[in-house]
C-alpha cells in the first residue's frame, strides 16, 4: 500500500489549486501524507505535445464555458474559495523555483498555500519578483533566501530535472496524483483515487 500520495503540480493550474485544497482530506482519511512535487507545466506541455485546455479549445465557446463552470462548481461543492485569475495564463517560473527550494523545509506547506491563494483567491500577478517578495513577507517566509533561490541557476536546473522525471513517469499535465505506481490525472479523478485507496486497505 502507498505510504503517501505524490501530488505533481504547478501553481499556474486552477485545477491543481482546487485539487490542492481537496486532496489533504482524502489523504488524512486513509492515513497518508501528501508529498508535493513541483514541476514546470510549460516544459511538460512542450515535451508531451500537450497544451492548456483553455488554449486548445479557445475557439470552442461551449467547451471553454464548460471548463470554467466546472472549476466554479467543484469549488462551490467543497466550500473552496476560488476566483479565476485575471492574469491567466499565469507565468509561474519564479514561484515554482521557490517551491523547489522550499521542498522539505518546515515552512514548505505555508509557502505553497500562500502562492496558490495569491493567484486563485486574491488574483495577484506572481510572475513579478516584487509581488512574490511581498507575498513572502506578508506570510513571514524567508524572503531574501527565497529571492536568491528564484534566480539561482542550480534551482532552475533542479526544477527542469524534476519536471523531466515526472514526464518519464507518465505525467502529461497537472494536477497528477500517484498512489504507488497508479497515476490519477486532474481534479475530477480524485474520486477514482479514493476508490483505489479504499481497495488497498
pLDDT in tens, 128-153: 999 999 999 999 999 999 999 999 99
pLDDT of residue 54: 77
Contact between residue 81 and residue 68 where contact means Cβ atoms under 8 Å apart: no
Closest C-alpha to 44, from 154, 152, 151, 170: 170
Helix spans in the chain (H):
14-29, 41-48, 53-56, 61-78, 93-102, 108-120, 129-138, 143-150, 153-168, 190-200
Angle at CA 6, nearest 5°, toward 12 and 57? 35
> Which residue shows C-alpha cell 485544497?
21
Which residue, chain included where needed, has cell 534551482? 155
The residues spanned by each domain of the chain are 4-200
> Could you tell me if 18 and 186 are in contact, meaning their C-beta atoms sit under 8 angstroms apart?
no
Q: What integer pLDDT is reported at residue 58 of this predicted model?
A: 72
Cα 68 to Cα 55: distance, rounded to the nearest angstrom: 13
Task: Single out the residue of 135, 158, 157 nearest to residue 146, CA to CA.
Answer: 135
Which pLDDT tens digit goes with each residue over 82-103? 999 999 999 999 999 999 999 9
Q: Give the residue ranges of the chain where pLDDT is below 50.
A: none
38: alpha, beta or left? (left if phi > 0; alpha if psi -120 to 50): beta
The angle formed by the CA atoms of residues 41, 86 and 24, to the nearest 5 degrees, is 55
pLDDT number for residue 51: 85
Instruction: Report the topology of domain 4-200.
Output: Glutaredoxin (3.40.30)
Q: 159: buried, middle or exposed (CB in 10 Å: 19+, 13-18, 0-12)? A: buried
Q: What is the pLDDT of residue 201?
A: 60
- The C-alpha atoms of residue 160 and residue 148 are separated, in whole angstroms, by 17
Amino acid at each position: 500500500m502507498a505510504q503517501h500520495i505524490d501530488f505533481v503540480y504547478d501553481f499556474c493550474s486552477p485545477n491543481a489549486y482546487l485539487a490542492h485544497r481537496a486532496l489533504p482530506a482524502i489523504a488524512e482519511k486513509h492515513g497518508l501524507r501528501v508529498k508535493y512535487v513541483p514541476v514546470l507545466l510549460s516544459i511538460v506541455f512542450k515535451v508531451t505535445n500537450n497544451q492548456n485546455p483553455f488554449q486548445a479549445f479557445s475557439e470552442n465557446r461551449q467547451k471553454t464555458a464548460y471548463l470554467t463552470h466546472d472549476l466554479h462548481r467543484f469549488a462551490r461543492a467543497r466550500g473552496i474559495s476560488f476566483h479565476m485569475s485575471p492574469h491567466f495564463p499565469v507565468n509561474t517560473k519564479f514561484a515554482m523555483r521557490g517551491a523547489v527550494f522550499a521542498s522539505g523545509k518546515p515552512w514548505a506547506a505555508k509557502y505553497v498555500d500562500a502562492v496558490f491563494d495569491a493567484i486563485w483567491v486574491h488574483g495577484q500577478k506572481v510572475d513579478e519578483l516584487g509581488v512574490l517578495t511581498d507575498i513572502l513577507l506578508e506570510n513571514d517566509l524567508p524572503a531574501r533566501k527565497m529571492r536568491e533561490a528564484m534566480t539561482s541557476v542550480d534551482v532552475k536546473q533542479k526544477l527542469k530535472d524534476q519536471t523531466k522525471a515526472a514526464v518519464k513517469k507518465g505525467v502529461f499535465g497537472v494536477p497528477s496524483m500517484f498512489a504507488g505506481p497508479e497515476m490519477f490525472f486532474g481534479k475530477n479523478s480524485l474520486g477514482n483515487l479514493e476508490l483505489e485507496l479504499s481497495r488497498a486497505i
